C-alpha cells in the first residue's frame, strides 16, 4: 500500500443532512490504510472488547484503501453510510501495521460544533468501541474524549514508586486522581470497580482512588473533606476541589455525593460508570459549571 496520508478535508458538507436525522444506534465502520487486513478478526474483537456486544464495530463492502488516503475513506463513507446502515459521523481507521502498540485512528466527520468540521486522534484499540458508543448516545463529547484518550507520545515507564496513600506517582490519563470516600461497610475494591471507566485496564492506570472509610455517620461530608485535605498533602495528584462520598450502603441504587469543597456544596449523582468520571472531569477542568449539575436527590 501507499504511504499513509491522514490529511483531513477542511469540511465534510455532506454531514449537514444528518443534523436533523433521528438518532439511530448504527454500527461503526472499520477501514484500513495499511496492509493488515489479515488481522481483521482480531482487530474487530479488540475494538469491541469493552462493549456489551461484539458487533458495534464492523467491516462492510469495502475495507482496504490502497491509496493510503484518509480523504478517500471519508469520500467513500459519506456515500455508503446510509445504504449500509453505518453511523455517518464516526469511523475507525487502522493506519499503522503495529496497531497493538500505536492504536487506531478515531475520526469524526462532524465535531461537536456541528459545522461539518472533521477531526481525528489516535486511541488505544481496546478503548475505541466503548468510546464510540458513548459518543453516539451523547454520554460524552468529542473534545472531552480526545483530551482524555488521545495517544500523544509514549509515556515514561512507571518506576513502580507510589505516594504514601498507595497511588502510583505517574499522572493518570485524566491529569489527576479522583478521590472516593465511603461509610464503613462498603467494600472499597467493589466501589472502585463500579466507578472506574474501563476497569479491565491495569490497576496502576486507574484514575479513581479509594482514599478512606469514614468513622462517623453524623456529617460524612465534613469528615471526608477533612480527610481529603490530609490526603492531598501526601498525594499531590489528587484533585483537590472535588470528591465523591458513598454515604449509603445502597449507593448503586441511590447514588453518590459529589462534593465541591470550595463551594461547600454536595449533589447526589447516579453511580453510572459512563457518566460519573466524565462529568467530574468536565467540572474540574472548567468545561462545565458546578451550578449546571443537576442533583438526583
220: three-class secondary structure by DSSP: helix
Please give the model's pTM, rounded to 2 decimal places: 0.57
* Residues in CB range of 159: below 8 A, 6 or more apart: 169, 170
The arithmetic mean of pLDDT across residues 154-180, rounded, is 87
| 57-58, strands of its sheet edge to edge | 57-58, 28-32, 90-94, 104-108, 119-123
Instruction: Specify the CATH class of 13-149 in words.
Output: alpha beta
Query: Domains of the chain: which residue ranges?
Result: 13-149, 178-292
Cα dihedral 38, 40, 41, 42 in deg (nearest 10) = 90
Instruction: Specify the CATH class of 178-292 in words.
Output: alpha beta
Q: What CA–CA distance (Å, rounded) separates 209 from 166?
A: 9
**Tens digit of pLDDT for each residue in 121-140?**
999 999 999 999 989 988 88
Cell numbers 464492523 correspond to: 58
**Tens digit of pLDDT for each residue in 75-97?**
999 999 999 999 999 999 999 99
Q: Do domains 13-149 and 178-292 have the same CATH topology?
A: yes
Whether 60 shows a pLDDT value over 90: the answer reads: no
| Three-state secondary structure readout of 245-271 | EECCCCHHHHCEEEEECCCCEEEEECC
Whether 154 shows a pLDDT value over 70: the answer reads: no
Contact between 102 and 96 (Cβ < 8 Å): yes
**Cell numbers for 22:** 433521528
What's the alpha-carbon Rg for the chain, to the nearest Å? 21
Q: What CA–CA distance (Å, rounded) separates 74 from 136?
A: 18
**Tens digit of pLDDT for each residue in 190-229?**
999 999 988 888 899 999 999 999 987 779 999 999 999 9
Going 231 to 236 to 237 to 238, the CA torsion angle's sign is positive
Mean pLDDT of the chain: 90
Going 157 to 134 to 45 to 152, the CA torsion angle's sign is negative
**Cell numbers for 135:** 459518543
**Tens digit of pLDDT for each residue in 254-293?**
999 999 999 999 999 999 988 899 899 989 988 789 999 9
Amino acid at each position: 500500500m501507499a504511504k499513509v496520508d491522514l490529511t483531513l478535508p477542511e469540511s465534510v458538507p455532506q454531514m449537514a443532512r444528518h443534523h436533523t436525522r433521528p438518532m439511530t444506534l448504527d454500527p461503526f465502520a472499520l477501514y484500513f490504510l495499511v496492509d493488515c487486513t489479515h488481522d481483521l478478526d482480531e482487530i474487530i474483537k479488540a475494538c469491541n472488547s469493552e462493549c456489551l456486544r461484539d458487533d458495534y464495530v464492523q467491516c462492510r463492502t469495502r475495507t482496504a484503501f490502497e491509496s493510503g488516503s484518509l480523504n478517500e475513506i471519508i469520500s467513500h463513507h459519506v456515500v455508503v453510510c446510509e445504504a449500509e446502515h453505518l453511523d455517518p459521523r464516526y469511523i475507525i481507521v487502522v493506519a499503522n501495521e503495529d496497531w497493538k502498540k500505536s492504536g487506531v485512528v478515531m475520526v469524526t466527520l462532524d465535531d461537536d460544533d456541528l459545522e461539518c468540521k472533521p477531526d481525528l486522534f489516535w486511541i488505544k484499540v481496546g478503548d475505541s468501541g466503548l468510546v464510540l458508543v458513548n459518543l453516539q448516545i451523547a454520554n460524552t463529547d468529542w473534545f472531552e474524549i480526545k483530551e482524555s484518550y488521545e495517544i500523544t507520545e509514549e509515556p515514561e515507564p512507571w518506576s513502580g514508586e507510589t505516594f504514601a496513600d498507595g497511588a502510583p506517582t505517574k499522572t493518570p490519563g485524566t491529569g489527576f486522581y479522583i478521590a472516593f470516600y465511603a461509610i464503613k461497610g462498603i467494600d472499597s475494591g467493589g466501589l472502585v470497580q463500579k466507578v472506574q471507566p474501563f476497569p479491565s485496564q491495569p490497576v496502576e492506570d486507574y484514575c479513581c482512588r479509594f482514599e478512606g472509610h469514614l468513622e462517623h455517620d453524623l456529617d460524612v461530608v465534613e469528615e471526608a473533606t477533612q480527610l481529603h485535605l490530609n490526603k492531598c498533602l501526601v498525594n499531590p495528584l489528587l484533585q483537590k476541589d472535588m470528591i465523591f462520598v458513598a454515604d449509603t450502603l445502597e449507593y448503586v441504587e441511590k447514588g453518590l455525593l459529589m462534593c465541591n469543597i470550595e463551594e461547600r456544596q454536595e449533589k447526589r449523582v447516579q453511580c453510572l460508570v459512563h457518566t460519573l468520571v466524565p462529568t467530574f472531569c468536565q467540572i474540574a477542568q472548567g468545561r462545565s459549571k458546578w451550578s449546571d449539575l443537576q442533583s438526583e436527590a
